[in-house]
Every structure is written in C-alpha cells, then in structure tokens.
Amino acid sequence: MPASRNEIYALVKGSGLVPLPDLDQAQKTSTHLNAPLPDVLIGRKLIAKDKLGTLIGQFYGVGYVALNKTPLKKDILNLVREELAIERKVVLFAKDGYVLHLAMEDPQDLEAVNFIRKITSLSVVPYFSFEKDIKFGLRQYKGTLAEEFNRLLGQDAKQRLGAASIEELAQDVSIIEAVNKMLEFAVVEDASDIHIEALADQVLIRYRVDGVLHDMIQLPKELHPAIIARVKILSSLKLDETRLPQDGRIKFESEEGEVISLRVSILPTVEGEKVVLRLLESGTPEFSLSDLGYDPRSDQLVTKALTRPHGLILITGPTGSGKTTSLYTMLSLLNTDSVNISTVEDPVENRIRRINQTQINPQIKLTFADGLRSLLRQDPDIIMVG
C-alpha cells in the first residue's frame, strides 16, 4: 500500500523541512478535500517536489524519479503491457543493460516487481514516483497529440482538404477522428480548456492545465477551416457564419464511456476564428464549502450569509478560480422542498433538479434584464444571476 497521509505527515514532521503550523494546516486541508498530502504541500510551496520525493523514497528505501522530467521511450514502456502498467500503477522509464528501472507509486508492491522481472527476464530496480507523475507516464502509452494528428491526417492532408467545401471538411473522416482525439487527450490531461488559435501561418492548439496554458501542437494553416467546421457541427453552430461570435455546447463520450460536456465559444479574429472549449463538470457538483477549500472562517461567513432570510452574495474572481462551482454548490445547499429557486444564466453549465434555470439568448432579446424582470413574476424565494 502507498504511504498513508499520517505516515507522510510523520515523515515530513521528522525531517523539519516544513514548519509545524504549516504542516498541520496542510494536513487539515488534505483531510477536508480528500486530497493527497504531498499535493497540498507542493501546491502551497511548503516543500520542493524533488525534496519531498527524495524523502518519501528514503522512507521506502529506494530512489526517487520525477517522471514528468524524464524522457520516456516507447520501446522501453512497451516491455510492460499498458493494461498491466495501469493496473499496477507502474512505469518503466529506463533500461541499463539487463536492468530495468521501474517507477512505482508503491515500491513495496513486491508482487508487481517480481511479475515484471518474470515476464521480461531482466532485473528490476524500483523507484518512488508521485501519483500524478505515474499518471503522466501512463499517458505516454497513447503517444502525443502531435503523433496522433500526424497518423490520422497523413502527409497529404493539406492538399486534400484545401480544395474541399466547408460541408466536406466537417464530414472528413480524418478530421472527425483528429478532433475526437483532441477532445480525448484534453480529458486524459485533465485540462480545463482547449484553445484553437489561428496564427498567420499556423493553427495552434493549447490546453489549460492547473490554470496554465500549454502548447500541444502546431498545424498547417490550411487545416484551420476543417477543424473549426468540425467543432461547429458538433456544437450545432452555423457553418457559414464567420463574422460574428457564436456560442454552443458539445456532449462528448470518452473512450472510458464518460460523458463530457463542453462549452464552446467562437470568436472572429484578424487571423481567423478562434475557438475555446471549456470542459465542464458532469452532473451537479456534490460538494460542501469545506470540500472546495474554503478555510473555516470563510466557510462560517458564507454559511451564515446563506441562512439569512434576505440579502445578496456577490462572487467574483478570475477564470478558473471556482466561481461557477461555488455558485452551484451554494444553490445545491439551498435547494430544499420549501423554496422556489430560479436562475438566469449564460451559459447553463450544470442542470440541477428542482431549480428553474433560464439560458439567456440576446438574439431573441432574452437578456439578463429581461430574464430577471420575468423571474420576479414567478414568486421566487432565491434568484441567481450569472
């Protein structure tokens, strides 16, 4: 079994690398959020990732490897089948003569070590690696997004698609599969947003992961109309409208069968249309305020405000800061049989049972002002606008 939260707490406490009050607070947050203690310690910059990894490795009596900084070769990865690697949470990251170097979340899993030794007929040296890094390593079995696009589109894509009509582009099999792969990789990478940007001579695809945008692939500019057309088809938007912004929604089923909702925003730019797809939480969030990371004082203040018979709560913050999740969590807490809750939203990101949610539509003159005016005639107890 991987080291428990309490074992890691005792390990870090004994090292003296983190001040005890900070460590205690991190332990409480880890428990509240049901998040790994190392993620909290590293996220709050209380200890360097490599230092903590080395410390945990010493606890197991093995070395530490940062897989996200280690080049992983397909021929070495494939010495262990993907299914087995996923089941055992192990990644082969190096081969030195007759010795394999194996990254593990639990280096004490001797059954896995012995099994890999048996099927490869090679010696195996285990190393500790963090859960997130193991997941990163396992994703390499699927290759990179660039490799998948090159495989699907081929060398002649630029010439083949350049002469096609918009309708033909949107239904091209290689484009359909490439866009599906783009969505699939975003789910695997745990991205919150996908950006498809038109540059002067290229198309840039970027993912936002943990609040930071990362370049994923650069494609020939000739492929831009095909990718945009496919996104428009999936989100039921007008193919021939390129001068005005458009908003839509996509339902996408991942390879694991999980249904993912995406919010689509298309904006004309001087280089062509830019698309941003926001991956949304599926279903209604089932959180408490403490689950969202509210500290005890903030939790108490918000809970007190929610229980008042009258008043207003204003939520602001940058993109990805948790505004929507906070709003839906508060609505869920207030959603009882004795109240009538109505909302005016743009967009409706999650549908909540027993809450009357209205999507604004300026094209038919249903604005926030119009929606709010109508809501006031609906005998509401609670209104949410946003």
Average pLDDT, the chain: 86
Residue of 193 and 161 predicted with greater confidence: 193
Q: How many CB atoms lie within 10 A of CB 56?
A: 22
Which residues sit opposite 263 in a β-bridge? 249, 278
- Quick one: average pLDDT of 54-71? 91
pLDDT grade for 55, boundaries at 50, 70 and 90: very high
CB within 8 A of 6, min separation 6: which ones?
none
- Quick one: average pLDDT of 350-361? 87
Q: CA–CA separation, 211 vs 130, rounded Å?
A: 20
- Quick one: average pLDDT of 30-56? 85
Residue of 283 and 333 predicted with greater confidence: 333
- Quick one: average pLDDT of 331-360? 88
- Quick one: average pLDDT of 325-353? 87
Alpha carbon 188 to chain centroid distance?
8
The pLDDT > 70 percentage for the chain reads: 93
pLDDT score at 277 = 94
pLDDT score at 172 = 81
Domains of the chain by start residue, with CATH: 5-139 (3.30.300.160), 143-280 (3.30.450.90), 296-385 (3.40.50.300)
pLDDT score at 284 = 54
CB-based burial label for 316 (10 Å; 0-12, 13-18, 19+): exposed
Q: Is the pTM of this model over 0.85?
A: no
pLDDT score at 60 = 92
Q: How many CB atoms lie within 10 A of CB 312?
A: 7
Residue 216, token pair as written in the block: 């994923």
Q: Tell me if the bond preceding 347 is cis, omega within 30° of 0.
A: yes
pLDDT score at 158 = 63
Residue of 125 and 72 predicted with greater confidence: 125
pLDDT score at 1 = 72
- Quick one: average pLDDT of 141-153? 75
**Cβ pair 334, 326 in contact under 8 A:** no
Q: How many CB atoms lie within 10 A of CB 135?
A: 19
Residue 221, token pair as written in the block: 């500019």
pLDDT score at 93 = 92
